[in-house]
Amino acid sequence: MEFFALDLETTGLDPRKDEILEIAWVRFLEGRPRERFQTLVRVAFLPKEVEVLTGISPERLRRAPPLPEVLPGVLGRLAGKVVVAHNAPFDRAFLQHAAARLGLELPEIHWVDTLAISRAIWPERESHALPALREVLGLEDREAHRALPDAEATGYLFLEELAAFPYLPEPTRAFILRGVPPPARELLAAGRKEGGREKTVLEEVFSLLSRKIPGFQLRKAQLGYAAWVERALREGGVYLLEAGPGTGKTYGYLVPLLLAPEGRAVISTRTKALQDQLWHRDLPALREALRADVRVALLKGFDNYLCPWALEREGGLFSGPLRKRIRECLSEVENPEVGELYKILGFDPEARALVERIRARPHRCLGRECPFLSRCPPRRARRSAQEAEIVVVNHSLLVADFLAGGGILGEYEVLIADEAHSLPKAFEEGLTRSISPADVAALLEEIEAMLPQLVPRRELRGVWAELRRLRERLHALLPDEPAPYSRREGLRFLSAAQELIWKLVALKGALEEGLSALEGEEKGMASGEIAALENLVSEMEYVLAAEGEEVFWSEKDPDIRFYATPLEFGDRLATDFWGRIRAAILTSATLSVGGRVDFLVRELGLGNAIHRVFPAQEKERRGRVFLLEFFPGPNEGGYVSALARLLSELRERFRRKIMVLFTSRKMLRAVRERLPQEGVISQLDWGDAAQAVEAFRAMDAPAILLGLDSLWEGVDFPGEELEILVVARLPFPNPADPLIKAKEERLRAQGLDPFRALYLPRAVLKLAQGVGRLLRTPEDRGAVIVADPRIVARPYGEVFRAKLTLPTRTVGDLEELLFALEEVFS
């Protein structure tokens, strides 16, 4: 497809007496500028206001060629062509009168007026002047009122009009077609063509986005990905779309969803960080660029929001100025979240305790008795979500809605699960029931704080004393490592906890006796605490008794906790979850192992699913993966010392920030003991992974972060925040893990090889996620070091290596590694 975009600068507005002082045209071919022409024209007189407006001086015009030398060539080049101009009648009139003065005949030109089309397509725009439209298009406003940049902007405006034309109402399309000549009419009616074929709507739209969104670049793989999303939305079914780094999958699924919503949709992510990115950055940019009139909403779990009633009740905990600052901050947000308060208070233990007191909790909700009901953030957020056409949630909330029978999100037809590799873990965690002495202590502290007048002190002291005794008994009874327990062992645990259960029931009864003396808010609050106490006792009895079909297991480190986890839930999901969703798109950079998705299909009960892979974009990525062939094996005696020496050498030699990913607490502790105290952060020392990450971010290089399971995915360290990533060992599941052991037995009973069906897929996907913590932006550089020689020495190492998207190099000794790293950071 070809057209010319033309712009003239003139000495005035009357073509009969004013002159042309600049001419420019840009030839567009297949949607891109291919040829440019620009010239000044000598004029008899340059008005001062035109000189100021254009920046063209009389001196420059005196050196310019006269119109007789310029105009014949311009008219010859434009003859018979489609020429677009903004306010085309103006340019046409000036060319016509200029040609007449020279005794020339104006050739046949197929004129298109982008101003008239703009007014027809976007009548709601306040201004259709070219400077205003430049801003909409995201074009630089350079050299305003000069012919060449204005001509180029006019050409891009026409491309936008071409892209918008197919979506217009029929009367509007007919009106526009009547106003343009046949050649241009064919362009509008048939769409642009590329490579001898007609462009698809998606190609048109993505071309438009490349002009409207700063920094956006159209990628071939992204178009292919988006086409499959479009097919999934149209035809329904389950689609596993694996998109390597650089594919642009976020826009790849958002664009088709915004263009042609096929029923109410939920977008679910693993991390709240991606959820916030979608909500605050990607969706607003695309809705503006596509002019998509689609209702969208963001929804998080109930306890992510603040409770206005609790803030009012606990107001005495804050100073007057701080209370005022909090209210001012929260008044600016429709549904204030806990994160907004942390920005004000910080993350120290005292601030965290304050936040916990004013965080919204379901059992503390007064419902209709609450004086702040109309302003309740979690209720308002949920109402907005249920009314929206697209809702952005996280996997935890998606699972919670499933358990609530759809009562949180309401019915929806389309699910897009980003970071879908973590869906099995999300469902496993969501379906797990657990109880801990720490849960009991937290509820007792809450009851003391919330109901000081109602709490019977004698009963409460008895509960606390029995809780301490139970902790001591359980420490003696439980093994040091996580372990399953049988029905018989569960009855032993239940017997140990029976006295505590009776005392909790007695406390509940005492609270119920005092309930009749309360009314209004106090009664509602007390009822909520009583319900929480009843639920806690019920969970304790169920989980400790070990009567169900779940895997019952316990752990003692970092705290005592008992679990009841379903061994398999695929069949349940197949009937109760996937069966009510018309179209499901599960996407991630890591879905398959060895090109197969059997593991994910089995875990999630997907049945028939279509799998497509979109490889990582081939770009020069400033990173390498080094495989340490010379290193001792992770189960050999000298491994811990060798790893500690390597980390010390890397730190001193390169003076950069390093993260080490471990799979066991024991190994992390052993390595930590061999490293200096300064400049090293252990996740175990901080307890909370988020705090350890923030502390590491705040440190200057050189620094080392030792991390466990929660840091293998979901955290970003762009730029110099992380330049060396060390994988301590291949992340195979622990065969002693109670859940892994139970799954292994089940797979053997089904005639499957547990290593191929369970251990290898989990390890490969987790390694790919861990390596993804490095190089988060195109400008990043860095190195990944896999300090486990099995990735080279064992046959299954090939499966791991095939999943790595960065160039790999096997190194035979420490000197070779250090020399190679010098090249990376040179």
79 vs 108: CA distance, rounded Å? 6
Those residues with Cβ within 8 angstroms of residue 128's Cβ, 6 or more apart along the chain or in another chain:
115, 118, 119, 122
- Determine the residue type at 48: K
Residue with tokens 């070091």: 785
Position 763 scores a pLDDT of 94
Spell out the SS3 assignment of 207-226. Answer: HHHHHHCCCCCCCHHHHHHH
Q: What is the arithmetic mean of pLDDT over 65-72?
A: 94
Chain-centroid distance of CA 425 in Å reads: 18
CA–CA gap between residue 774 and residue 718 (Å, rounded): 7
| Tens digits of residue pLDDT in 11-43 | 999 999 999 999 999 999 877 899 999 999 999
Q: Is the pLDDT of residue 753 over 90?
A: yes
User: Is the pLDDT score of 222 beyond 50?
Assistant: yes
Percent of the chain with pLDDT over 90: 54
Decide: helix, strand or coil at residue 474: helix
Burial class (CB in 10 A: 0-12, 13-18, 19+), 743: buried
Residue 616, pLDDT > 70, answer no
| Three-state secondary structure readout of 476-530 | HHCCCCCEECCHHHHHHHHHHHHHHHHHHHHHHHHHHHHHCCCCHHHHHHHHHHH
With a CB cutoff of 8 Å and minimum separation 6, the contacts of 716 are 273, 773, 776
Over range 690-713, report the average pLDDT.
88
Q: What pLDDT, on the 0 to 100 scale, is given for residue 197?
A: 39
- What value does the mean pLDDT take over residues 177-195? 71
Radius of gyration of the chain (CA): 33
Q: Is 343 in contact with 355 (CB distance < 8 Å)?
A: no
**Tokens in use for 320?**
């007057």
pLDDT in tens, 507-517: 999 999 888 88
Average pLDDT, the chain: 87
pLDDT digits (tens, 9 = 90+) for 150-165: 999 999 889 878 876 7
Pairing assessment for the beta strands 657-661 and 724-727 based on DSSP bridges: parallel
pLDDT the model gives residue 199: 55
Q: What is the pLDDT of residues 473-482, one digit of tens each?
A: 999 999 988 9
* pLDDT of 214 over the 70 cut: yes
Confidence of residue 333 (pLDDT cuts 50, 70, 90): confident
What is the structure's pLDDT at 118? Answer: 87
Q: Indicate if the pLDDT at residue 196 is higher than 50.
A: no
Identity of residue 767: L
Task: Give the mean model confidence (pLDDT) for residues 526-552.
Answer: 94
Greater confidence (332 vs 701) lies with: 701
Under the banding of pLDDT at 50, 70 and 90, the label for residue 744 is very high
Of 103, 243, 172, 82, the closest CA to residue 588 belongs to 243
What would the mean pLDDT of 315-335 be, rounded to a whole number? 72
pLDDT in tens, 335-368: 778 877 777 776 666 667 777 778 888 888 888 8
* pLDDT score at 778: 63
CA distance 115 to 136: 14
pLDDT-wise least confident of 309-313, 660-664, 728-732, 818-822: 309-313
Q: What is the mean pLDDT of residues 535-541?
A: 96
The whole-number pLDDT of residue 632 equals: 95
Backbone torsion region of residue 263, taken as left when φ is above 0, otherwise alpha when ψ lies between -120 and 50, otherwise beta: left
What's the rounded Cα separation, in Å, for the pair 18 and 552? 90
Q: Which residues, other chains included, contact 364 with Cβ-Cβ below 8 Å and sequence gap of 6+?
A: 307, 310, 450, 525, 528, 529
Please give the span between the terminal C-alpha atoms of the chain, in angstroms, as a whole number. Answer: 47
Instruction: Calculate the alpha carbon distances from 789 to 207, 626, 629, 756, 773 in Å.
Output: 46, 11, 5, 20, 21
- Asked if pLDDT for residue 562 goes beyond 90, the answer is yes
Q: Which residues pair with 660 in a beta bridge?
A: 706, 726
Is the pLDDT at 194 greater than 50? The verdict is: no
Residue 728 has pLDDT above 80, yes or no: yes
Alpha helices in 546-664 (DSSP H): 570-576, 598-604, 639-654
Among 187-196, 294-303, 458-467, 769-778, the least confident range: 187-196
The residues assigned a catalytic role are 145
Alpha carbon distance 574, 238 (integer Å): 11
- Mean pLDDT for 653-671 is 94
Q: Is the pLDDT of residue 216 over 60?
A: yes
Crossing angle of helices 201-212 and 283-290, in 10° steps, is: 110
3-state secondary structure labels for all residues of 28-86:
EECCEEEEEEEEECCCCCCCHHHHHHHCCCHHHHHCCCCHHHHHHHHHHHHCCCEEEEC
**With a threshold of 0.75, does the pTM exceed it?**
no
Q: Tell me what pLDDT residue 756 has.
A: 92
Mean pLDDT value across residues 145-154: 88
